[in-house]
Structure formats: C-alpha cells, structure tokens
Amino acid sequence: MIAYAKTGDFPEALVKILLTIMMNSSRGGATMEELKEAYQEARGSKPSSRTIMRAIRRLNLIFDPLVYGETPEEGEEPDDEGCTGEGENMETLPPMIQTKRTKDGFRYLYTGEYPRSSLDANQVLMMTLGLYTQQRGLLKDHFESVIREMMRDMLARINAYQNMYQELEKHVHVSGYGPADPGRNFYKIKEVMRAIRNHKRIRMEYLRVYDGTLTRREVEPYGMICRFNNWYLVAHCLQQQKRRIFLMDHVKQLKVVENSSFSQPEGFDLNIYNSAWGVWTMDEGNKAEAETVRLKAIKGIAERFKMVCFHDSQKVKMLEGDEAEVTFKVTGAVEMIPWLMSWGATVQVLEPQWLKDQLLQSLRETIGVYEAGN
C-alpha cells in the first residue's frame, strides 16, 4: 500500500475519512470517533486524533493547495500577513472541511460545492495508472494533479447519487415483506418520477379497483408507495378534487402533460403512511392515531413471524409451547382482514375487539358464499 511521502497518510484512509465526513455533514458533521473508525477500517489500526487532523489538512490541501496560505521558499521572508508579499491582497478561501464545536464535542463538515471534473473518468484512470510508478519521481506533481481531478470526479458522482437518493427518499416509500419488483411497471414508474421531479400533471386511463370500470383521470402526482410488492401512486385527482391512491397495475395508459405545472401542498409528507397497514384507508391523508393489534400464532407458524417482518412495527414474543404473541402498531387495521383470513386457524386476533368482530363477520360471509353454492 502506497503512502504519501510528506505526511504518511494512505490514500484509502483519506478517501474513507472524506466519505465519512460527507455522509455525516447533513446530520451535523462527523465526530472524531467516527473518523477514527473510518481510518481503522481502511488501515486496520486505530489512529490518534493528531493523525486524523493531519489527514483533514491533507484533504483540504488537495481541494486547494493555498487554503492554509503560501509557504515561503527557502531564503524568503514572509511579510506581516504571513504571505510572501506577491499576491498579498489575494483573499484566502476557507477550507472545504471545517471544524464545528458542539455541546458534544467537535464535529467535522464538508462545506464546499461538488465540482464537476472536465476529464472523462476512464481517461483519468488510464493517466493515473501511467503515472503511478513515477509518483515519487519527476512526475510527482503531475500525479497529484491527476489525483485531484479523480477526487473531483468522485465528489461529483457522490453528489449525484446523494441527490438521487434524497429525491427517492422524499417521493418513494417502500414497506412490507419481500423485495419489491418494479419491473412490470418500470416505464410507468419512470414517467411518474419524471412528472414528480418536474411538477407536471399526468393523464391516465385507470381501471377502477372496486368495479373494474375504465376511467380517464388527470392527476397531480405527489409520490409513490410500494406495499406488499404492489406499487401505488399518491396523487391529487382533478376530477374528484381529492387526494387519491392509484394501483399502478391498474394504470393502463399514462402520459405526462408537458405543458402543465402544479405545486405540492405545503407540508405533504409520505411518512404519514409509515404506520398504515395498507393504503386505501389513507386515501385522503388520514392522520388517525395508530392502535395496537395483538395476535397469537400457533407452533410452526410462530417461526414464520420470527423470520418475516410484515410491518415495521412488528414485535414477536415467544410463548410456552412454541407459540408466539405478535403485536403491530398500525393505522387502518381494517385492511388487515384479508391478510388475517389467509392464515386460517393458525393465527388468532386477541385485540382490538372491533377487529375480531369484523373478521368474524367476514368469515361468516365467506362461509355463506360456499353454503349458497351447494
């Protein structure tokens, strides 16, 4: 592993420290302990605080070689400002990585912009490889220039990724068991996300869930939800003048209205669906209080609940006889009824009472259908 001759810092450790600072800057900055752990992950040994501060100084010099001022050449005397006279009026920019004192100690933040490299990443890599063996020789300065360009390119890519991730986190909510498979709705999801990003309306043909009628809608898209492997669009329906949820599998035609625009309602947040069991009871952004649903699972099925999380609030307590008590904290528990019925006699509702009553009524109606068929 190659170390930089002047400071002894290792490139892998520098990158790890930089990434740690960048990823924590939006949350108030990285702590010294986090930076030490990052260094240790790259190098295998825990560093001193002085080593971390030296690495931060090294990173700031990569961003701007003059960030700490010019160092006088041998035989040169600095002026009163600590400069060499020439360029003494030049403004010194603050370092990209800065220190902030908090009540819990010091934190380190990346405060600079994410510059875009003018070089193609592949070209940079080939140039670096070509100069690698000469980094300690005559071409060392060129090697460091290439390293700087690679760093800038990496920062640009990290910035693009972070922006994309933040956008997805803001407009997409995924929950429920199993991996989501957007493949069958890939084009529609892509167009919806484009409409959300550009604040464009959507026209679509929609197969109404409860009666199968094909309807035409124009909507203002707010976000998307994936629940139990099904994708849903949360939008304001212009026909009904209400917030509605649309099952993407039932969207038959979809087109972004390019010459349109809209603004999302202030304060809208997909987190209102965090505690919901399903989606339909939250059609108009209900803010009902979450309630506790308590179940008992028989032996064998109890293991299923230990291995699979059906809701973020799920808690499992093992009982005697290898049975389990399973609790959820949810809104819209009425949407649990079809799921509960699918377990048959292996899962029993303990509370709330109203859910037990509605489940019993649904079971009676189901039995009635089969009895009528005979």
Q: What is the CATH number of the domain that holds 343?
A: 3.30.70
The Cβ-side half-sphere exposure at 13, using a 13 Å CA radius, reads 25
User: Does residue 278 lie within any of the structural domains?
Assistant: no
Show the domain range for 301. Answer: 291-373
Please give the Cα distance from 154 to 83 (Å, whole number): 32
Answer whether residue 286 is part of any domain.
no
- Number of residues in the chain: 374
Report whether pLDDT(19) > 70.
Answer: yes
Stronger pLDDT, 177 or 151, i.e. the higher one: 151
**Final residue before a domain boundary, out of 113, 142, 166:** 166
Domain end: 268, 300, 334, which one? Answer: 268
Q: Is residue 276 part of a domain?
A: no
Q: Could you tell me if 319 and 350 are in contact, meaning their C-beta atoms sit under 8 angstroms apart?
A: no
Q: 161 and 31 in one domain?
A: yes
Same structural domain, 207 and 312: no
Q: What is the mean pLDDT of the chain?
A: 76
CA distance 13 to 1: 11
Q: Do 242 and 120 lie in a common domain?
A: no
Residues 230 and 336 in one domain: no
Distance CA 96, CA 17 (A): 13
Residue 83 predicted with pLDDT over 60: no
The two structure tokens encoding residue 301: 């099925």
Task: Tell me the CB-side half-sphere exposure of residue 371, using CA atoms within 13 A.
Answer: 6
What does the pLDDT read at residue 160?
A: 61
Region class of 267: left (phi > 0), else alpha (psi between -120 and 50), else beta = left
Query: What pLDDT does residue 203 have?
Result: 95
Question: Do residues 248 and 189 lie in contact, with contact meaning Cβ atoms separated by under 8 Å?
Answer: yes
Residue 204 lies in a domain: yes
122 and 53 assigned to the same domain: yes
- Model confidence over 184-227: pLDDT tens digits? 677 888 888 889 888 999 999 999 877 778 999 999 999 888 77
Q: Are 196 and 50 within one domain?
A: no
Are residues 26 and 102 located together in one domain of the fold?
yes
Q: Is the pLDDT of residue 76 over 50?
A: no
Q: In this predicted structure, what is the pLDDT of residue 46?
A: 85
pLDDT digits (tens, 9 = 90+) for 300-351: 899 888 888 888 889 999 999 999 999 999 888 888 999 999 999 999 999 9
Residue 231 scores a pLDDT above 80: yes
Contact 92, 81 (CB under 8 A): no
Domain count, the chain: 3
In a domain, 282, yes or no: no
Q: Which of 82-91, 287-296, 314-323 has the lowest mean pLDDT?
A: 82-91
User: Do the domain assignments include residue 3?
Assistant: no
pLDDT value of residue 225: 83
* H or E element that contains 13: helix 11-25
User: What pLDDT is attached to residue 267?
Assistant: 75
**pLDDT tops 70 at residue 22:** yes
How many Å apart are CA 13 and CA 37, to the nearest integer?
10
Are 39 and 114 part of one and the same domain? yes
Q: For residue 343, what are its two tokens?
A: 């377990």
Predicted confidence (pLDDT) per residue in 101-134, tens digit: 888 888 999 887 655 544 455 544 444 444 444 4
- Asked whether residue 51 is assigned to any structural domain, the reply reads yes
**CB atoms closer than 10 angstroms to residue 234:** 25
Boundary-marking domain end, from 131, 166, 201? 166
- pLDDT tens figures, 236-286: 999 988 888 898 888 988 999 999 999 888 877 777 777 788 776 655 545
How does pLDDT run across 55-75, given as a tens digit for each residue?
888 888 877 777 776 555 445
Q: Are 25 and 112 in a shared domain?
A: yes
Q: Taking a C-beta distance cutoff of 8 angstroms, is the pair 131, 146 a contact?
A: yes
Q: Is residue 199 located within the same domain as residue 332?
A: no
- Shared domain check, 188 and 49: no
Pair 243, 265: CB distance under 8 Å: no
Specify if 228 maps to a domain.
yes
Q: In the structure, how many helices (H) and strands (E) does the chain have?
A: 9, 13
pLDDT tens digits, one per residue of 166-190: 665 666 666 654 444 556 677 888 8
**16 and 158 assigned to the same domain:** yes
